[in-house]
Amino acid sequence: MLTQLQIRAAEARDKPYKLADRDGLYLTVLPSGAKSWRYNHRLAGKAQTKTYGQWPTLSLADARAAHAAYRAGTLATPQPGPDRAATPTFEAAAVAWLADYLPTIRKGKNQSSVPASLEQHVYPKIGRQRIDHITRVQLVDLVKAIYASGKQETAYKVAQRITQVFDHAVDTGRIDAHPAGRLTRVLGAKTVTHHPCVPPDQAGALLRAIAAYPDLITRAGLLLAAHTFVRTDELRSAPWVEFDRGKAALWTIPGARIKMAEDHEVPLSRQVLRLLKDLAVYTGEGALLLPGANTPRRPISENTLLFALYRLGYKGAHTVHGFRALASTVLNESGLWRPDVIERQLDHRERDNSRRPYNRADYLAERRQMMQWWSDWLDAAQAQAPRPAA
């Protein structure tokens, strides 16, 4: 049986793993660090996985109590006939969808947030119903109630996930049709959330504040975010092996790491090469560019850089993602660089890779010049000096 100490000490690994408790109850530890209580069993000859919730929200004692109650209810329920055995409950269909979907998710936090959203908002309403008995009206009422509670973004995500579960059930032959098509259309307008970004004339003050930030690794991370304007996850999870600091001066982000068919190449300016040289003194012996302070085998958390900006007084004024918006604004307004070159460096590619083949060398020479110009622009802004020419 598990103990509280074992649960707290269980660290994330590259792949999910299980810690067995008793009576079939076990704790799954995901690569994201999330820990989920689950139970595998068979009902009417079909494999089922029951998910109770996440630790520490659901304690060990509460998980055991929920497990005992579920087992008692399952054993007391008459075994279904052939037709019921062939058609799963919504929860069983969702578990099957998650098994196929979760390995494709790009962000590690979604490994826990996607199942959690179903556990919180959907399973209590329709989880134990046969999926072919669920009506459109039930689904509409469910997502509208979430929207009406003020959780607009959650309502949209839940609606999308419900549709995906039903689509998966159709695709795998569990049902022939479903009532969840275009479920998001019944919701009101979604408030668009923009990533705050300082205007170009305030970029210098921001950079000077970052340059004075006391933690070296966090400071380097923010400056690299400014100079390379890559996505936050691409930066914080970057290993040293992706950087060619020699003649090529190129950071190659593998497509497999960002769920793309092709790699993303980031030319390294002279300023970025100096940043990497200084950073290598502190983290170059390890695998990761920006390791966590307490967990050096894992990257800094997704909030480390953002909270540093908060501490500098930029909460609501600028985010890490805001460097992408800042770069896009300045580069486009300069009139020096073709829009296609800027968009390519921002990695605004069609996510459906079947749409067109991609040439890795597209605009690379121009992008090298542009990225050096951008770093020079940042330096001039920080020093309050005249802006660089092309």
Reported confidence tier of residue 77, pLDDT bands at 50, 70, 90: very low
Q: What is the pLDDT of residue 355?
A: 34
Q: What is the pLDDT of residue 358?
A: 42
Helix axes 322-334, 216-228, angle to 10 degrees: 40
- The 10s digit of each residue's pLDDT in 23-45 is 889 998 888 778 888 888 877 66
Catalytic residue flag (residue 259): yes
Q: What is the pLDDT of residue 152?
A: 86
The residue from 18, 107, 128, 259 that is catalytic is 259
Listed residue (124, 182, 191) closest to 154, CA to CA: 191
Omega cis (within 30) before 56: yes
The per-residue b/e assignment along 134-168, b for 16 or more CB within 10 angstroms, e otherwise, is beeeebbebbeebbeeeebebbbbbbebbbbbbeb
Q: What is the mean pLDDT of residues 319-325?
A: 94
Tell me if 287 sits within 8 A of 296, measured CB to CB: no
The residue from 67, 321, 344, 367 that is catalytic is 321
Is pLDDT above 90 for 47?
no
Q: What is the mean pLDDT of residues 319-332?
A: 94
CATH number for the domain whose boundaries are 200-383: 1.10.443.10
- Please name the residues in contact with 264: beta carbons below 8 A apart, sequence gap of 6 or more: 230, 234, 252, 253, 255, 258, 347
Is pLDDT above 70 for 390?
no
Which two tokens mark 114? 């996607």
The residue from 70, 101, 358, 363 that is catalytic is 358
The more confidently predicted of residues 118 and 77 is 118
User: Which helix (DSSP H) or strand (DSSP E) does residue 244 occupy?
Assistant: strand 243-244
Q: What is the pLDDT of residue 235?
A: 96
Provide φ and ψ at 191, rounded to 5°.
Answer: -65, 125
Catalytic residue flag (residue 321): yes
Q: What is the pLDDT of residue 282?
A: 93
Count helices and strands (H / E) in the chain. 16, 7
**Whole-angstrom Cα distance, residue 169 to residue 181?**
13
The more confidently predicted of residues 87 and 381 is 381
Is pLDDT above 60 for 352?
no
The residue from 227, 231, 344, 367 that is catalytic is 231
Catalytic residue flag (residue 348): yes
Q: What is the pLDDT of residue 259?
A: 66
Is pLDDT above 80 for 362?
no
Q: What is the mean pLDDT of residues 86-96?
A: 87
The residue from 106, 107, 208, 348 that is catalytic is 348
Tell me if 108 sits within 8 A of 151, measured CB to CB: no
- The 10s digit of each residue's pLDDT in 166-181 is 998 888 888 888 999 8
Catalytic residue flag (residue 324): yes
Instruction: Please indicate whether the domains covering 4-186 and 200-383 agree at the CATH topology level.
Output: no
Domain map of the chain by residue range? 4-186, 200-383
What percentage of the chain has pLDDT greater than the value 90? 50
For domain 4-186, the CATH architecture is 2-Layer Sandwich (3.30)
- The 10s digit of each residue's pLDDT in 249-283 is 999 998 878 766 678 999 999 999 999 999 999 99
Tokens 């200084």, residue located: 278
Reported confidence tier of residue 87, pLDDT bands at 50, 70, 90: confident
Average pLDDT of the residues of the chain = 85
Is pLDDT above 50 for 215?
yes
